[in-house]
Amino acid sequence: MAKIMQTELCDKLNIEYPIIQGGMAWVATGELAGAVSAAGGLGVIGAGNAPAETVAEEIKKVRAITDKPFGVNVMLLSPYVDDIVDLVVKENVPVVTTGAGNPGKYIDNFKKAGCDVIPVVSSVALAKRMARLDITAVIAEGGEAGGHVGQLNTMAMIPQIVDAIDLPVIAAGGIADGRGLVAAFSLGAQGVQLGTRFVCCKECTASPAYKEAIIKAKDRGTVVTGRSTGHPVRALKNIFTRELEKMEAAGCDAEEIEEYGSDKLRKAVCEGDVDKGSVMAGQIAGLVSQELTAEEIITEITKEAQDVLKTLCLGLEVENNER
């Protein structure tokens, strides 16, 4: 493996490749996380709104697949968040990523269990606030990402966060291949988090219809709804998002909109209802064209990144010789 792939982040997390799998609610089960970790990346179970017993089963599944490091994503808006934190600590889960809030009050618990904590942030201000905590890195997630998103885009946000904090930064949002990985390195990131690409992974247990909808999606296939409620979410355009847009345009109150959106992700992921369910996916869905195994995805990305770097270096050599 080329040394450039082995970033300080890889050493800290004890992983081979600086590729983290997004901890997507309902999608990121033990099967997916185990496959990604076994392939040398960091697989992450998405706790979402699931109760602790469910997440405990997923942890067991990962441990049956691999003894390599893995993570659990703690979604801080979950009604079970306290139970999930207790579970992660009890199970000595090596890495915790957090989303949709500030994990500050749980950090002491995580550190007692030796967890590496990696919060997701969506602005420089949030990154600076998190950097005061005892954390290992941050995931800076741009608005190209699927699911709950912030306002900034990856390209503009990553270098600003890299300059603002003294911790490794993992880039997320709009990345699905080796070109994206090299771009992230260029912006100063030490790794990438991929969500949409790993939905279309053979080991991912999401419904075939969900995967097919991503594979069929084009560049303009996603939309952000829910800005009026303060919980903007990016998903594939369908009957569900059009209905939400209508409700927002009609000035429906936040409670009614949140109520309409509830349980729709499960409907799409588990039941395969990609018309009336929420098919959360990032803008890079248009680039995802086939279902591969986790190992094939990681091998393809790292090989492509090395080829891109070689081409760039050759270009520089030619330019130097011409001078």
> Which positions lie near ligand TUI, rule CB under 6 A?
25, 48, 75, 77, 99-102, 120-122, 126, 141, 147-148, 150, 231, 233, 280
**Closest to ligand TUI by CB, 38 or 47:** 47
**Closest to ligand TUI by CB, 93 or 257:** 257
Sheet holding 95-99, edge to edge: 19-21, 191-194, 169-172, 138-141, 116-121, 95-99, 70-75, 43-46
Report the number of secondary-structure helices (H) and strands (E) in the chain: 14, 11
Q: How far is the CB of 221 from ligand TUI (least distance, A)?
A: 17
**Closest to ligand TUI by CB, 103 or 286:** 103
Q: How far is the CB of 293 from ligand TUI (least distance, A)?
A: 25
Q: How far is the CB of 75 from ligand TUI (least distance, A)?
A: 5
Helix (H) or strand (E) holding 118: strand 116-121
- Find out whether 318 and 65 touch, Cβ atoms under 8 Å: no
Q: How far is the CB of 211 from ligand TUI (least distance, A)?
A: 18
Ramachandran quadrant class, 96 (left: phi over 0; alpha: psi -120 to 50; beta: rest): beta
The strand pair at 222-225 and 233-236 is best described as antiparallel
- Find out whether 150 and 182 touch, Cβ atoms under 8 Å: no
Q: What is the 3-state secondary structure (H, E, C) of 19-44?
A: EEECCCCCCCCHHHHHHHHHCCCEEE
**Closest to ligand TUI by CB, 62 or 257:** 257
**Closest to ligand TUI by CB, 138 or 294:** 138
Find the residue with minimal CB distance to ligand TUI: 147
- Find out whether 34 and 70 touch, Cβ atoms under 8 Å: yes
**Closest to ligand TUI by CB, 52 or 182:** 52
Q: How far is the CB of 2 from ligand TUI (least distance, A)?
A: 30
Which residue type is seen at 157?
A: M
For the chain, report the end-to-end CA distance as a whole number of angstroms: 32
Polymer length in residues for the chain:
323
**Closest to ligand TUI by CB, 231 or 237:** 231
Q: How far is the CB of 181 from ligand TUI (least distance, A)?
A: 20
- Find out whether 214 and 285 touch, Cβ atoms under 8 Å: yes
Q: How far is the CB of 64 from ligand TUI (least distance, A)?
A: 27
Q: How far is the CB of 48 from ligand TUI (least distance, A)?
A: 6
> What is the spatial distance between Cα 170 and Cα 73, in angstroms, rounded to a whole number?
15
For residue 180, give the nearest of 146, 144, 148 by alpha carbon.
Answer: 144
**Closest to ligand TUI by CB, 43 or 48:** 48
